Structure 1
């Protein structure tokens, strides 16, 4: 009886092991990830602003850093939202990354009166930095969408 019980437990364990390997090899549904839209951030700050002004297009400038928790939350939750991505199509999207050489980005930060990360600055279609709206912490997608509506 004890031997049968041992064999039964062994077979159950073997079945679960095989099932586990089988599930790991199952392809995941990456079709959504492959077609998921994303924001195309321009890292050439001055060139992008000049092009936006010439085209009469407003701009949004995301001042971010890899070590900044609210910055990463903005990226993960707000800038990945399909409605936000769609709304940003009418903007020149510019990203200033303060993760590395701060000396390189400080002049641009000073020009737009940015003192901390995250900061999202709006620039009107004439190239003027707008005092409002301005993001200085995490904002959910719905709140950013309201700000995008105000920025012309």
Structure 2
């Protein structure tokens, strides 16, 4: 695949041969203009001794429809083959005139050798324009992606931009979409770099938090995939596992202390029991045992914990009874409700008693 060279210092030609076409005469600035505008290029290679080149100028390039198409939908560039030898060699041109139609990024779409009449050139121009046109749905998606980027919703922006680029086309809107994706990737790379720096300093908790945030915020990017791989590697690191275990114990103890302050004694007991069982080798496990002893030594706290447990157990028996009813097992449902009403101190005692009376009053279904 031959691409137009990105930059060449080219000599400009003299006066324009076709006054109606807004010719450019320097290649490098024209390439830059095409990239900025998203318009394709028409390169007309000719020489001053070429008869058919002159015929092309006074016929085809004078045609009103051709002129309109070139001025509105293309960047027309007229180049002297004798002066642009480096470009001619790069493109491997065999003769004159030669017209090259290229995408805004320099990808060559069509090469027309020799004289071409207005009708045939117009058809070629229309075909290229159609291939590079911006469908309405692509424009809307790209614009919506821009708004998402401005709002910091990079995951949604990435999804929209990837839908625009799905067919790997070279339309102007797709060139813009690629630039936007590159911007998102660059932002994600900055966050990935910070996470790697944390990991290098053995600040694994900060590194993993940053990587998890990156995966969510920049979902769909290549950088997010790289972050997932690094996160998986860190998760297998023995030092990381130790830090994570210690961090979990610290967080659980903090929650247990919060439960104690807020008088959620049963929840506090549950958390402290987990800490004592699974983190007994850590300071948090020892601290949890002290909190458990505090609760057990305080009759009011212990009473509140047992009442909460009774409420929870009664509520669960009622729920279990409803499951048995739905499954056509009234006997098992009654058994569950009888267990519920046996817990007389529960706030759900009366609801369990009423439901048990209702269930017993229902006629038995025939065997």
Greater strand fraction, Structure 1 or Structure 2: 1
Correspondence for 2:87? 108
Figure out how many residues of one structure are paired with residues of the other and give that number.
Answer: 111
Is 2:107 the partner of 1:128? yes
Which 5+ residue runs of structure 2 have no aligned equivalent? 1-17, 133-367
TM-score normalised to structure 2 length:
0.29
Correspondence for 2:26? 44
Correspondence for 1:142? 119
Correspondence for 1:91? 74
Correspondence for 1:27? none
- Separation of aligned partners in 2, 1:85 and 1:122: 15
Contact 2:43 2:79 (8 Å CA) reproduced: yes
Structure with bigger gyration radius: 2
Structure 1 runs (4+) greater than 3 angstroms displaced = none
Correspondence for 2:184? none
- Separation of aligned partners in 2, 1:91 and 1:118: 19
Contact 2:31 2:104 (8 Å CA) reproduced: no
Greater helix fraction, Structure 1 or Structure 2: 2
Specify the SS of the correspondent of 2:84. helix
Specify the SS of the correspondent of 1:62. strand
- Separation of aligned partners in 2, 1:143 and 1:82: 14
Quote the offset at 1:74 in angstroms: 0.6
- Separation of aligned partners in 2, 1:85 and 1:67: 24
Provide the aligned C-alpha RMSD in A: 1.7
Specify the SS of the correspondent of 2:66. helix
Specify the SS of the correspondent of 1:126. coil
How do residues 55-70 of structure 1 correspond to structure 2 at under 5 angstroms? 55-70=37-52
Specify the SS of the correspondent of 2:89. helix
Specify the SS of the correspondent of 1:57. coil
Specify the SS of the correspondent of 1:79. helix
- Separation of aligned partners in 1, 2:124 and 2:21: 17
TM-score normalised to structure 1 length:
0.67
- Separation of aligned partners in 1, 2:101 and 2:70: 12
1:27-84 superposed Cα distances (whole Å, 9 cap, x missing partner)? xxxxxxxxx9601211111111121122211010000112101111110110011110
Which 5+ residue runs of structure 1 have no aligned equivalent? 1-35
Contact 1:112 1:129 (8 Å CA) reproduced: no
- Separation of aligned partners in 2, 1:53 and 1:113: 23
